[in-house]
């Protein structure tokens, strides 16, 4: 004879009422709740307009509440890391720039720093080359954060902010085109320095941008910071405290929005960042609102860094002097686009046969890198972007692996989403700022 865990049911104005007298709670609920098993599984993506790229989220819902969330990646896989094993060390710059396509200059710089460390020439990089790297990375940080602000605002209904964010980003991309010849995928930062010097036209454009951008930031804040719907959609939404960030390996603005001022430019400086004056913005709420405030503040700090870099641009070479490493850096606009200047080609052809052979071998075969392995990390707009590079002594990498912040940070999505509303999945996922090109590589 079995005994029931319940007293006799009785009807009330609120519906049936049971008095539980013992037993496992899940069994009790499943035995009486008529909609207990009526959870639905929803695929959000991989072609969803609010997933910041080709990301698939598998959500198990109970009503509008997310009970389980899983991230599925790999839809944008390009095999870039594997391809690097079949190209010489300099050609690798053209591949890595295409990983995180919103911050290509960080991909290039991290890779170049790793190769330079393997070569043992870190201290030989010229002051002007390091200053240009800082200048370009901070402009890139601004453009990346503008895309985050534009797309996140669009997903939460602030369409005007999307238009303004992309408008200012275009200004930065125009500067990049003036300096590198390309708006994206530059292959500008190379082992040994940078591909070419910064022209005077670009300096003028950057100074104009420094005058314009602070005013535009105030306009963004006037539009969003006091807006009731924006506050409702961001405050106390997708909370992840500092303990959760540390447990999941989360870095970048998400970690700093939880209160930890961890920034590799300060804690493990590179490219001379230790000589610049700037602050590391933090917040303590660990929610979408905090991540918004941190990124806007970071744009202001990047503007300060860009201005300091401009003031430090002293005349000098932009590539190491060692001709066995220095990739030909004298470029010019020709009928076929970017190429070696005629003066540079004439100089090579007018020298000895050995000089011409050396130039040919450097371009086609590349330089040899001593055997060894290194790990170098930079502070990208999304967090710690690390490069683990392994050389077997040849002209091509034996292995290059990226510690990509988008991939690592996406692990935090279930912790942010589960137990919350499906509408907050969009805000929480966007606040991580994942770029799937970097995640999948």
What are the pLDDT digits (tens) for 53-66?
A: 788 888 888 888 88
Tally Cβ neighbours within 10 Å of residue 374: 15
Q: Cα-flanking dihedrals φ and ψ of residue 168, to 5°?
A: -70, -30
Give the per-residue pLDDT at 42.
Answer: 83
* pLDDT single digits (tens) 345-403: 676 667 667 767 777 777 788 888 999 999 999 999 999 999 999 999 988 999 999 99
First to last CA, the chain: 62
Which pTM value belongs to this model? 0.85
pLDDT at 1: 45
Q: pLDDT digit string (tens) for 308-333?
A: 999 999 888 888 888 778 776 555 55
Phi and psi (nearest 5°) for 164?
Answer: -70, -40
* pLDDT of 304: 93
CATH architecture of 88-325+367-440: Orthogonal Bundle (1.10)
Kindly give, in sequence order, each residue whose CB lies less than 8 Å from that of residue 390, ignoring residues fewer than 6 positions away.
372, 373, 397, 398, 399, 400
What average pLDDT does this structure show over 418-430? Answer: 88
3-state secondary structure of 267: helix
Strand, coil or helix: 248 = helix
- Residues 7-16 have pLDDT tens digits of 456 777 767 6
Q: Give the tokens for residue 348.
A: 């090579």
The pLDDT value given to residue 24? 62
* Half-sphere exposure at residue 347, Cβ-oriented, CA atoms within 13 angstroms: 8
Measured distance CA(182)–CA(189) in Å, rounded: 13
pLDDT of amino acid 37: 61
pLDDT at residue 256 tops 90: yes
8 A C-beta contact, residue 431 and residue 149: no
Give rounded-to-5 percent helix, strand, coil for the chain.
Answer: 50, 15, 35
Percent of the chain with pLDDT over 70: 85
Which value, in Å, is the radius of gyration of the alpha carbons in the chain? 26
CB atoms within 10 A of CB 75: 15
Tell me, what's the pLDDT at 357?
77
pLDDT higher for 4 or 27?
27
d(CA 364, CA 367): 10
Using CA atoms, how far apart are residues 215 and 212, in angstroms rounded to an integer?
A: 6
Residue range 273-292: average pLDDT?
Answer: 91
Residue-level pLDDT at 207: 92
Cα–Cα dist 86/66, whole Å: 44
- Residue spans per domain, the chain: 1-38, 88-325+367-440
Pair of tokens at residue 299: 């744009």
Q: 265 falls in which pLDDT band (50, 70, 90)?
A: very high
Contact assessment for residue 144 and residue 103, using Cβ atoms and an 8 Å cutoff: yes
Which tens digit of pLDDT belongs to each residue from 203-219? Answer: 999 999 999 999 999 99
- Give me the pLDDT at residue 33, please: 53
Residue with tokens 């002209």: 395
Does position 19 have pLDDT exceeding 60, yes or no?
yes
Using pLDDT thresholds of 50, 70 and 90, give the confidence band for residue 68: confident
Torsion sign, CA atoms 12, 16, 17, 18? positive
The region of weakest confidence among 26-30, 95-99, 187-191, 362-366 is 26-30
Angle in degrees, CA 136, 140, 141, rounded to 5? 120
How many helices (DSSP H) and strands (DSSP E) are in the chain?
A: 18, 12
| Residue 108 · residue 189 · CB < 8 Å | yes
pLDDT beyond 60 at 300: yes
């Amino acid at each position: 004879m079995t005994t029931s865990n319940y007293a006799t049911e009785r009807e009330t104005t609120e519906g049936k009422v049971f008095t539980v007298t013992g037993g496992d709670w899940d069994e009790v609920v499943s035995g009486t709740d008529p909609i207990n098993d009526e959870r639905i599984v929803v695929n959000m993506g991989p072609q969803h307009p609010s997933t910041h790229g080709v990301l698939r989220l598998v959500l198990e819902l109970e009503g509008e509440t997310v009970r389980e969330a899983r991230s599925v990646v790999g839809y944008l896989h390009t095999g870039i890391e594997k391809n690097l094993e079949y190209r010489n060390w300099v050609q690798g710059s053209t591949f890595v720039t295409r990983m995180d396509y919103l911050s290509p200059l960080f991909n290039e710089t991290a890779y170049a720093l790793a190769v330079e460390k393997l070569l043992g020439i870190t201290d030989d990089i010229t002051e002007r080359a390091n200053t240009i790297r800082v200048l370009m990375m901070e402009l890139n940080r601004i453009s990346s954060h503008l895309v985050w602000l534009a797309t996140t605002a669009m997903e939460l209904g602030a369409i005007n902010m999307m238009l303004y964010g992309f408008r200012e980003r275009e200004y930065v991309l125009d500067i990049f085109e003036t300096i590198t010849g390309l708006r994206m995928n530059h292959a500008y930062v190379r082992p040994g320095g940078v591909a070419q010097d910064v022209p005077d036209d670009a300096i003028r454009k950057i100074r104009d941008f420094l005058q314009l951008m602070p005013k535009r930031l105030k306009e963004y804040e006037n539009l969003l910071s006091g807006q009731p719907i924006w506050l409702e959609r961001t405050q106390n939404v997708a909370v992840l405290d500092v303990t959760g960030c540390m447990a999941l390996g989360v870095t970048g603005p998400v970690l700093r929005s939880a209160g930890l001022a961890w920034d590799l430019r300060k804690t493990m400086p590179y490219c001379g960042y230790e000589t610049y004056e700037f602050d590391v913005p933090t917040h303590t709420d660990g929610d979408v609102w905090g991540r918004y405030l941190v990124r806007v503040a970071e744009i202001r700090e990047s503007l300060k860094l860009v201005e300091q870099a401009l003031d430090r641009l002293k005349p000098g070479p932009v590539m190491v002097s060692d001709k066995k490493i220095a990739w030909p850096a004298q470029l010019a606009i020709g009928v076929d686009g970017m190429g070696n200047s005629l003066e540079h080609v004439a100089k090579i052809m007018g020298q000895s046969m050995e000089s011409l052979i050396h130039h040919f071998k450097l371009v086609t075969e590349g330089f040899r890198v001593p055997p060894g392995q290194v790990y170098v990390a930079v502070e990208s707009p999304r967090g710690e972007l690390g490069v683990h590079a392994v050389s077997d002594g040849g002209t091509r990498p034996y292995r290059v692996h990226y510690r990509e912040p988008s991939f690592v940070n996406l692990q935090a999505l279930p912790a942010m989403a589960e137990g919350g509303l499906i509408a907050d999945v969009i805000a929480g996922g966007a606040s991580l700022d994942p770029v799937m090109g970097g995640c999948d590589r």
